Amino acid sequence: MQKNSNIEIDFRSDTVTRPTDKMREAMASAEVGDDYYRDDPTVRALEDYTARLFEKESALFTPSGTQSNLIAVMSHCAQGEAYIVGDQSHSYLRELGGAAVVASVQPQVIPNQSDGTLAVTDIEAALYPASILFSPARMIALENTFNGQILPIDYLQQVSALARQRSLRMHLDGARIFNAARALNVHVCEIAQHFDTISFCLSKGLGAPVGSLLVGTRDTIEKGRRHRQLLGGGLRQAGILAAAGLYALNNHIERLTEDHKRAKRLAKALADIPGVTPDIPQTNMVFCAVNPAVQDHFAAFLLDRQIAVSGTASRQRWVTHLDIGEATLTRTLDHLTEFAKQTVAA
Ligand SMILES: *Cc1c(COP(=O)(O)O)cnc(C)c1O
């Protein structure tokens, strides 16, 4: 199969997975129709299945997580209103400011703590009294997992209680919510029940080529359907893509545990390299600090072995996923052991 010729083992992201043969078979045999008319049975099946899985009323298939987060903002907040969001969150930092640029909704930004949470005291301080001067906040957005870290369930309870008390909606950017649920060994509803809307990606650890879903009440999702149209996200015979999503939800959730175990083994091997200090991974991401003394040497070694990672020279990110199987991981661990020996000897 064709791929980036300089990369043999790709740890940059769980978005790099390619559909498996079985997933491609499901796509090839999908029944399709024009989804503008709600005539695509496979899209409807995916949306219905997802709504049931999350124990919510309704779900909407979207082309991306970026769009699905933006649709949530537009569905919960009117022009000139505000939403509370973390300064390091994907939806604020890495989505080109869509809430402000497209929706005219003001992000009320507060710092993410290092564990990905927003301090409840910070949220309370950001809720200004009703006044002609302030944009009223309508929604709190959290992210789970956050850089591979899981938000504790009791924290979600705390924030959703505050949101109810203050009549705010709760949105979860749950791009990797299934990683969080698997790692906590809970059903995804245990997380989802604290939110009005949840966005999650089919195209990451679940291994589908394209797509996200937004889940919520029937009213919110029907509003969201109009916003998706406005954003150019209405699709026609999207059943081809929805079939990949259905296949992923039926076959690729439980196996996320394997990615998590492999991330732990990877972290262990990285820890054996002098000058490399990995965080303990909670799910499928390993972040490691790389000492300036080994940075160039390590980068050159990885390049030579055609191993790709993301992050920066001083803080690398390694992501495990469907296309890092047992053989590939073993090969990687062998390379890392070799590099550790070289580095000790030097
Ligand atoms: C990937 C990601 C998104 C956006 O998803 P796309 O499908 O790439 O637009 C949103 N939030 C988080 C946390 C992500 O990791």
Q: Mean of the per-residue pLDDT values for the chain?
A: 97
CA distances to 13, 93, 276, 299 from 313, in Å: 16, 21, 11, 8
Tell me the CATH architecture of domain 31-251. 3-Layer(aba) Sandwich (3.40)
**CB count, 10 Å around CB of 206?**
26
CATH number of 9-16+255-345: 3.90.1150.10
Which DSSP string corresponds to 253-282? STTHHHHHHHHHHHHHHHHTSTTEEEPPPS
What's this model's pTM, rounded to 2 decimal places? 0.96
Q: What is the pLDDT of residue 5?
A: 72
To the nearest 10°, report the CA torsion of 62, 63, 66, 71: -30
Nearest CA to ligand 1 atom 15: 175
pLDDT value, residue 4: 62
Q: State the distance from the centre of ligand 1 to the C-alpha of 295, rounded, in angstroms.
A: 28
Task: List all residues whose CB is within 6 A of at least one atom of ligand 1.
Answer: 64-66, 69, 90, 143, 173, 175, 201, 203, 212
How does residue 199 score in pLDDT terms, banded at 50, 70 and 90? very high
- Structure-block tokens of residue 24: 């491609």
- Specify the pLDDT at position 3: 55
Atom of ligand 1 nearest to the CA of 69: 10
**Average pLDDT of 212-238?**
98
What does the DSSP 8-state code read for residue 137? Answer: E
Per-residue pLDDT tens over the stretch 110-157: 999 999 999 999 999 999 988 999 999 999 999 999 999 999 999 999
Question: How do residues 263-315 score in pLDDT, each as one tens digit?
Answer: 999 999 999 999 999 999 999 999 999 999 999 999 999 999 999 999 999 99
- Listed by start position, the domains of the chain span 9-16+255-345, 31-251
* pLDDT score at 344: 79
b (16+ CB within 10 A) / e for 278-315: bbebbbbbbbbebeeebbeebeebbeebebbbebeeee
- Ligand 1, atom 4, lies closest to the CA of 65
Q: How far apart are CA 157 and CA 163, in angstroms?
A: 10
Question: Rounded to an integer, what distance in angstroms lies between the CA atom of residue 77 and that of residue 179?
Answer: 28
Q: How far is the CA of 321 from the centre of ligand 1 (A)?
A: 15
Coil, strand, or helix at residue 27?
helix
Of all residues in the chain, the percent with pLDDT exceeding 70 is 99
